[in-house]
A and B are shown apart, each in its own frame.
Chain A
Amino acid sequence: AQTVTQSQPEMSVQEAETVTLSCTYDTSESDYYLFWYKQPPSRQMILVIRQEAYKQQNATENRFSVNFQKAAKSFSLKISDSQLGDAAMYFCAYWVDSNYQLIWGAGTKLIIKP
């Protein structure tokens, strides 16, 4: 079965520091996609970053970057220069075309300390 695991229910970081959120997944597929979504207190789901499994280069979006380790089935999110607005639940999700659905992790609550 395809599963996504986020082992950190909660993380905290000092403003302006760097934090890494972990995500592992289980799959037998070779071609798939991975996503990080952010859910702030407003509850709106916002895409942070995506990674295609066939790409070796790690995706980057401004202060957000991923460390994609395909062999280890690991997909961590690094947030640099943390800002108060980064406080949110972060969800890791996995997509494979044959399933037509996103498989979601349980989420990590990120707290930013001023």
Chain B
Amino acid sequence: DSGVTQTPKHLITATGQRVTLRCSPRSGDLSVYWYQQSLDQGLQFLIQYYNGEERAKGNILERFSAQQFPDLHSELNLSSLELGDSALYFCASSTATLRDSDEQFFGPGTRLTVL
């Protein structure tokens, strides 16, 4: 158990819908990262938050948005869903340092299926 929690574990929805994925980082971790892993592929970095502020952006679609709340949990919002958005979405957190070369601890992921 990495200490990072993600809910829900599975999500099945229809095209055009909007969903929210939730992540709670490890206690004391200020950085949260979101990744997308499509079937049998590597991870694609979406976005990072550090202590409530957006810090880095990767290949995140405009239909996707995220935020980190004062209690440090984070939410990833996916809207106007398409079939191709079906994937495993991981959240990771890292230790409270400005140099985030430290280990990222991954949550169990949310499996999103868009029908």
Known: A43-B88, A43-B109, A107-B42. Is A100-B103 also a contact (CB below 8 A)?
Answer: no
B43 proximal to A (CB < 8 A): yes
A56 proximal to B (CB < 8 A): no
B92 cross-chain contacts in A, Cβ below 8 A: 45
Question: Is the pair B100, A100 in contact by a Cβ cutoff of 8 Å?
Answer: yes
The majority secondary structure among interface residues of chain A is: strand
Known: A99-B56, A100-B56. Is A105-B42 also a contact (CB below 8 A)?
Answer: yes
A106 proximal to B (CB < 8 A): yes
In-complex Cβ contact of A45 among B55, B58, B90 (8 A): B90
Known: A100-B56, A105-B42. Is A44-B101 also a contact (CB below 8 A)?
Answer: no
Question: Is the pair A44, B106 in contact by a Cβ cutoff of 8 Å?
Answer: yes
The complex places the Cα of A95 from the Cα of B100 at a distance, in Å, of 9
B63 proximal to A (CB < 8 A): no
* Beta-carbon nearest neighbor of A52 in chain B: B101
Size of the chain B interface, CB-CB below 8 angstroms: 23
Question: Is the pair B43, A100 in contact by a Cβ cutoff of 8 Å?
Answer: no
Question: Is the pair A91, B100 in contact by a Cβ cutoff of 8 Å?
Answer: no
Question: Is the pair A50, B103 in contact by a Cβ cutoff of 8 Å?
Answer: yes
Question: Is the pair B101, A47 in contact by a Cβ cutoff of 8 Å?
Answer: no
A-B pairs with the 8 shortest C-beta distances?
A100-B56, A45-B106, A104-B42, A33-B101, A101-B45, A106-B42, A104-B43, A101-B56
Residue positions of B touching A, CB distance < 8 A = 2, 33, 41-45, 48, 55-56, 58, 88, 90, 92, 99-101, 103-106, 108-109
Apart from A45-B43, A95-B101, A104-B42, 20 more pairs, CB < 8 Å: A43-B108, A44-B106, A44-B108, A44-B109, A45-B90, A45-B92, A45-B106, A46-B106, A47-B103, A91-B43, A95-B100, A97-B100, A99-B56, A100-B48, A100-B55, A101-B58, A102-B43, A102-B104, A105-B42, A107-B42
